[in-house]
């Protein structure tokens, strides 16, 4: 087989990932699990699971059965929950794989009673978000009687804001917890952990903050960046003053310039919203993004940058908080958008 070098690089810091997980466990006052849906928010779910399981993380959450199947075989002593529950096409996977459905509706509960062969499950109760989950009245009205519930969950809608909805959901969940027998209870995501240990219950489910996202100011300074995307210079060219660069000729060189054309574009999750504020670094020197972002290419102004040549790697400006603030994408979108052309390198 021909060994083909990957055109883009995602440097991933496993020590930062594990430190973030440990901090979230302490801050939440509860055992921390890990949300690794969407391929570990774009980092690679299998590697994330391996690093966190080695550090002692025991409870993992994915969205779909396809995501669960891709993680087999699981590390020893680890449990995996599937947040979308069990639909009509999922029963065989749900009976066969060593993972549990998170049952989200009376319909799903009925399906699991009929087809789950008595296997354990998790249950999501909706405490006010109106996304997934049984309504509180349904959960308390006998719909769950006799089920072997491992984890009883609910999810916070506004934990990243100082909203009165947080306390209402907390109170609703505490009341449901008293009424429904389950081995453990779980409410908080990353932002919920920052609301304080009242929100911790038995198990927390951080995602974003594991991967370096800062969901609330309480996590500032504690959460470390994990993801460092790098793009490669395909060509360095001299652009005389007055000539334009890229589609639509949206940027014109004011003076004689050197332009580095690099191999990343919107197909890699580097979207057009970076225009005007995006940039990269080479050996400590800043290269502002110029012109439009193409599908697989971008141009950076490398005027005055010493020693830059074809084949060099540029570190993209990708601090999650700052990048989100300047380009308007959420920190979640900045992570999950990173595409398949990146080779993922863990340190
Ligand atoms: C995605 C998800 C999480 C993790 O949320 P973050 O905001 O990324 O920490 C936790 N619980 C559920 C139900 C989720 O869907």
pLDDT the model gives residue 114: 94
Q: How confident is the model at residue 329 (pLDDT cuts 50, 70, 90)?
A: very high
Topology of domain 227-346, CATH: Lyase, Ornithine Decarboxylase; Chain A, domain 1 (2.40.37)
Dig out the tokens for 214 from the structure.
């800062």
Tell how far CA 82 is from the center of its chain: 16
* Residue extents of the structural domains in the chain: 14-210, 227-346
In the predicted model, is pLDDT for residue 4 greater than 90?
no
Q: Tell me which of 155, 161, 188, 210 to substitute to probe ligand 1's pocket, judged by most ligand atoms within 8 Å of the beta carbon.
A: 155
Q: Tell me which of 37, 189, 190, 193 to substitute to probe ligand 1's pocket, judged by most ligand atoms within 8 Å of the beta carbon.
A: 189
pLDDT the model gives residue 275: 95
Give the separation between CA 265 and CA 181, rounded to whole angstroms: 50
Q: Is 199 a residue of the active site?
A: no
Burial of 145 (0-12, 13-18, 19+ CB in 10 A): exposed
**Residue numbers belonging to the annotated binding site:** 131, 295
| Strand segments (E) across the chain | 8-12, 31-32, 34-35, 59-62, 79-82, 100-103, 121-126, 134-135, 149-153, 184-186, 203-204, 227-239, 244-245, 251-252, 257-262, 279-282, 285-290, 298-301, 313-316, 342-346
pLDDT the model gives residue 326: 97
In the predicted model, is pLDDT for residue 64 greater than 80?
yes
Atom of ligand 1 nearest to the CA of 132: 13
CATH of domain 14-210: 3.20.20.10
For ligand 1, the distance from its centroid to the CA atom of residue 213, given in whole angstroms, is 12
Q: Is 332 a residue of the active site?
A: no
Q: How confident is the model at residue 6 (pLDDT cuts 50, 70, 90)?
A: confident
In the predicted model, is pLDDT for residue 31 greater than 80?
yes
Its sign, for the CA torsion 53, 58, 63, 67, is positive
Kindly list the distances between the CA atom of residue 28 and the CA atoms of 41, 171, 281, in Å, as whole numbers in the listed order: 21, 17, 36
pLDDT in tens, 208-218: 999 999 999 99
For ligand 1, the distance from its centroid to the CA atom of residue 82, given in whole angstroms, is 12
| Average pLDDT rounded to a whole number, residues 278-297 | 97
In the predicted model, is pLDDT for residue 155 greater than 80?
yes
CB under 6 Å to ligand 1: residues? 35, 37, 83, 155, 189-191, 205-208
Residue with tokens 């009929």: 114
């Amino acid at each position: 087989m021909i060994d083909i070098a990957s055109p883009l690089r995602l440097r991933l810091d496993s020590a930062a990932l594990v430190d973030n997980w440990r901090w979230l466990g302490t801050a939440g006052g509860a055992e921390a699990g890990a949300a690794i849906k969407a391929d570990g928010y774009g980092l690679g779910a299998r590697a994330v699971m391996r690093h966190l399981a080695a550090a002692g993380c025991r409870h993992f959450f994915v969205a779909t059965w396809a995501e669960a199947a891709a993680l087999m075989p699981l590390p020893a002593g680890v449990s995996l929950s599937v947040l979308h529950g069990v639909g009509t096409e999922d029963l065989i996977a749900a009976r066969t794989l060593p993972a549990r459905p998170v049952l989200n509706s009376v319909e799903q509960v009925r399906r699991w009673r009929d087809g789950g062969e008595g296997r354990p499950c998790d249950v999501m109760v909706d405490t006010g978000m109106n996304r997934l989950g049984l309504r509180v009245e349904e959960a308390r009205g006998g719909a769950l009687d006799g089920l072997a519930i491992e984890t009883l969950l609910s999810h916070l809608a506004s934990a990243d804001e100082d909203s009165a909805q947080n306390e209402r959901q907390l109170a609703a969940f505490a009341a449901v917890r008293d009424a429904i027998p389950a081995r453990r209870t779980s409410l908080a995501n990353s932002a919920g952990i920052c609301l304080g240990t009242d929100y911790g219950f038995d198990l927390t489910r951080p995602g974003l903050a594991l991967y370096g996202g800062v969901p609330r100011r309480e996590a500032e300074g504690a959460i470390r960046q994990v993801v460092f995307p790098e793009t490669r210079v395909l060509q360095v060219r001299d652009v005389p003053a007055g000539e334009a660069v890229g589609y639509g000729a949206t940027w014109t060189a004011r003076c004689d310039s050197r332009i580095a054309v690099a191999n990343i574009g919107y197909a890699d999750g580097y979207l057009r919203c970076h225009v005007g504020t995006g940039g990269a670094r080479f050996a400590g020197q800043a290269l502002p993004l110029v012109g439009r972002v193409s599908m697989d290419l971008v141009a950076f102004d490398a005027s005055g940058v010493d020693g830059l040549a074809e084949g060099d790697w540029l570190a993209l400006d990708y601090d999650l908080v700052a990048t989100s603030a300047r380009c308007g994408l959420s920190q979640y979108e900045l992570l999950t958008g990173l595409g398949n052309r990146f080779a993922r390198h863990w340190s």
